[in-house]
Amino acid sequence: MLLTLVTFLFVLSLLVLVHEGGHFLAAKKAGIRVEEFGLGYPPKIFAKKIKGTIYSLNAIPFGGFVRLLGEELEESSKFKVQSSKFSFVAKSKKARALVIVAGVTANFLLAILAFSVIYVVSGIPTKTALVKVVGVLSDSPAQQAGIKEGDVILAVDEEKIDNLEKFTNLVKEKSEQQIRMTLARAVANPCAAKVFGGGTGFSCQDGNLMLWLTPRSSPPDGQGPLGVVVSDVEMKKYPFWQMPLRGLAEGAKETFGWVKLTLTGLGTMLSDLFRHGAVPKDMAGPVGILQISGLAAQSGFWAVLQLIGILSVNLAVLNILPFPALDGGRLVFIVYEAVFRRRPKASFEQVINTAGMALLLFLITLVTINDIGRILEANNFLSRLRTLWPF
């Protein structure tokens, strides 16, 4: 539990600090006075003022914050005479917009960096003509039949398998029908010295293993018909001088892939919320992320780094949405100002942001309740970290 909590706090703090660090650097670049840059949230433990900015360490270890001079309209009027040129609202619309989007940009860059490091070290995903077993789930038809991680799927019945799509389609077509899978096994192959025959539950042909199993029509969540994780992708290593650029390109591709998945998930959540009055079961909130952090920590450094990349994308996408109280909502007010050539009243902006925050808290509460219910049902969260589809 301690490892889970430490990992959760580390990941969350890193994401928020990177986000706020983006605002901080952009504000400094624009000549806006940064009143305070805080690690954690008050009450303060330690604070030191350096060149007009208070750098504070706070007791609540959840991320951090940046407080800019004149960020709130009421505050800007207070300092209008003596500090207007250092105030957030005194800057041009372009400068203010850049400060606002800097946090989201920082999160996108963090995600690209995290994914790029993973690919530089592990290799670049490259499609092959082999469908390989990379995981077998407990108490599944695949495990019961004797399929093992590392097996290469050569055929289903009489159909030769040379790509993942063909395999998945065949398995779906033969739901609740017994199938024969022909496998190549490199390690501990009982058929290594045999041409025909076999043992209990399997047969051999040309040194390959043949097993029989039945795809399920209604498998448990996250397991798929066979309970086996397969892939037709291998991690290819290029010469070391090529890996940084190739890894960066793949990291950027992975980041934008998660942007698409995040937007799709948000669309599904809103659709289910309005149509059924409930959030999707696989939508994770704070409690869900806490549990996922623990699973990632148990899996090791690379799983934690992958989680950082995924959550950084999520934070960036959510923050840039044109919703009150978010960075995207603040951009909407700047667009309003550009179109109508006047700023909205401070009271109006405050009411809108307060209402937006209340709605966000309501949604977070719903998702948290969903998290707790899912935990009580003991669902498997580890599959959320997998990038391979289970079958």
Show the domains of the chain with their CATH numbers: 2-33+69-121+253-385 (no CATH), 125-236 (2.30.42.10)
Q: What is the C-alpha to C-alpha distance for residues 302 and 108, in angstroms, rounded to an integer?
A: 18
Question: Residue 378: its pLDDT value, please?
Answer: 46
Question: Residue 278: its pLDDT value, please?
Answer: 64
> What single letter denotes the amino acid at residue 210?
M
Question: Residue 76: its pLDDT value, please?
Answer: 47
Question: Residue 113: its pLDDT value, please?
Answer: 97
DSSP bridge pairs for 65: 38
Nearest to 375 by CA among 279, 290, 300, 307: 290
DSSP bridge pairs for 156: 159, 181
Instruction: Point out the catalytic residue in the list 20, 75, 250, 349.
Output: 20
Q: What is the C-alpha to C-alpha distance for residues 328 and 9, in angstroms, rounded to an integer?
A: 25
Question: Residue 381: its pLDDT value, please?
Answer: 44
* Placement of tokens 């995600």 in the chain: 111
Q: Where are the beta strands (DSSP E) in the chain?
A: 34-50, 53-68, 124-136, 152-156, 159-160, 179-184, 198-199, 202-205, 208-213, 228-236
Q: What is the C-alpha to C-alpha distance for residues 375 and 292, in angstroms, rounded to an integer?
A: 11
**Other C-beta atoms within 10 Å of 155: how many?**
18
Answer yes or no: are the C-beta atoms of 125 and 257 closer than 8 Å.
no
Cα angle 316-317-320, degrees, rounded to a multiple of 5: 85
Question: Residue 74: its pLDDT value, please?
Answer: 56
Residue 337 is a catalytic residue: no
Question: Residue 126: its pLDDT value, please?
Answer: 87
Taking only the tens of pLDDT, the chain with its 391 residues reads 788 888 888 888 899 889 999 999 999 999 999 999 988 888 889 999 998 899 998 888 767 889 898 776 554 455 453 456 888 888 888 999 999 999 999 999 999 999 999 999 988 888 888 899 988 888 889 988 889 888 999 999 888 988 888 998 989 888 889 999 999 888 888 887 644 444 456 788 888 888 999 999 888 877 789 988 898 888 888 898 999 999 999 999 999 999 998 888 778 777 776 776 666 666 666 777 777 788 888 888 888 999 999 999 989 998 898 888 889 888 998 998 888 888 887 778 778 878 877 877 777 676 666 655 555 554 444 444 444 444 4
**Other C-beta atoms within 10 Å of 39: how many?**
18
Q: What is the DSSP string of 216-283?
A: -SSPPTTTTTT-EEEEEEEEE---TTTHHHHHHHHHHHHHHHHHHHHHHHHHHHHHHHHHHSS--TT-
* Placement of tokens 């539950």 in the chain: 201
Q: Is the peptide bond before 390 cis (omega within 30 degrees of 0)?
A: no
> What single letter denotes the amino acid at residue 137?
L
Question: Residue 13: its pLDDT value, please?
Answer: 86
